[in-house]
Amino acid sequence: MESHKTSQFAFEDVLNYLFEATGKIEGSFASKLLATIYPDQPIWDEIVLKKIGIPQPQKGQKDKQKQIRESLATYSKLENWYSGFINTPNAMEIICLIDEMYPFAAQMTSTKKVDWALWSMGAK
């Protein structure tokens, strides 16, 4: 990650790097690493995915390339959802409420505020 702070990289790059290094396909972990460098990127979380209606790919598939493609498609859907939602009145209300309640939130991106709100709602 340190070597990529000055160059552009995407979710696909992180996912593939982790797969090559570990043999595992971890979309959630890859998204967290990406969001560490690019805080406006959404985080893949099973609670958030359930809340917004995006199914997760099946883990442990024998066809690893298929699982990678499905993971990339899932993250793309997540990015598209945030892109479409972030400027809506509902999102603006969430962002304003978080800003009012938590002064430190002024340093958070809008994406993180929406993510935080969705995650804090829990699985129900």
Task: Give residue-wise pLDDT tens across range 37-67.
Answer: 899 999 999 999 999 999 999 888 889 999 9
Query: 37: burial class by Cβ within 10 Å (0-12, 13-18, 19+)?
Result: middle
| pLDDT score at 61 | 81
Model pLDDT, residue 124: 61
Predicted confidence (pLDDT) per residue in 57-96, tens digit: 988 888 999 999 999 999 999 999 999 999 999 999 999 9
- DSSP 8-state symbol, 7: S
**Residue given tokens 């890859």 in the structure block:** 30
Judged against a pLDDT cut of 70, whether residue 6 lies above it is answered with: no
96-120 confidence digits (pLDDT tens):
999 999 999 989 999 999 999 998 8
Domain hosting residue 30, numbered range = 2-120
Q: Which residues contact 91 (CB under 8 A, 6 or more apart)?
A: 85, 110, 114
CB-based contact 91:110 (threshold 8 Å): yes
Tokens for 6?
Answer: 């000055």
Determine contact, residues 111/41, Cβ cutoff 8 Å. yes
Which of the 8 DSSP states describes residue 42? P
pLDDT of residue 58: 85
Q: What is the pTM of this model?
A: 0.89
The count of structural domains within the chain is 1
95 vs 4 pLDDT, higher one: 95
Going by C-beta distance under 8 Å and a sequence separation of 6 or more, which residues neighbour residue 24? 18
In contact, 110 and 82? CB cutoff 8 Å: no
Q: Please give the DSSP secondary-structure letter assigned to residue 41.
A: S
